[in-house]
Amino acid sequence: EAEVAQSPRYKITEKSQAVAFWCDPISGHATLYWYRQILGQGPELLVQFQDESVVDDSQLPKDRFSAERLKGVDSTLKIQPAELGDSAMYLCASSRDLEGEQYFGPGTRLTVT
């Protein structure tokens, strides 16, 4: 069964350092999402891609966060510089189209010290 892949699974970094996360969606899925989830809360959408284009990045802190999906397949989310408040689970999801069922990867647990 096809799955969304994410790496790394865990990341510990010091504040002010740069960190990057990678996501490979299910093959054929045009829509890719990056979410941030704080313990006890629902996921918060950071950025949504349709193929290589950004559809929604209204909640992405653009002064420090960036995301790209250059060839419309895999995607990278970067934080520079990391802050203590960025500690969270970062989830990637994909769907066949903009309104389809979303499938999530295992997530990356980020701890900023």
Site for another protein, rule CB under 8 A? 4, 6, 40-43, 45, 48, 56, 58, 89, 91, 93, 98-99, 101-107, 109
Do the Cβ atoms of 47 and 67 come closer than 8 Å? yes
CB nearer to another protein: give 42 or 70.
42
* CA dist., res. 68 & res. 74, Å (int): 9
CB of 75 to another protein, least distance (A): 15
CB of 48 to another protein, least distance (A): 7
Residue 84's identity, in one-letter code, is: L
**Rg of the chain's alpha carbons, rounded to an integer?**
13
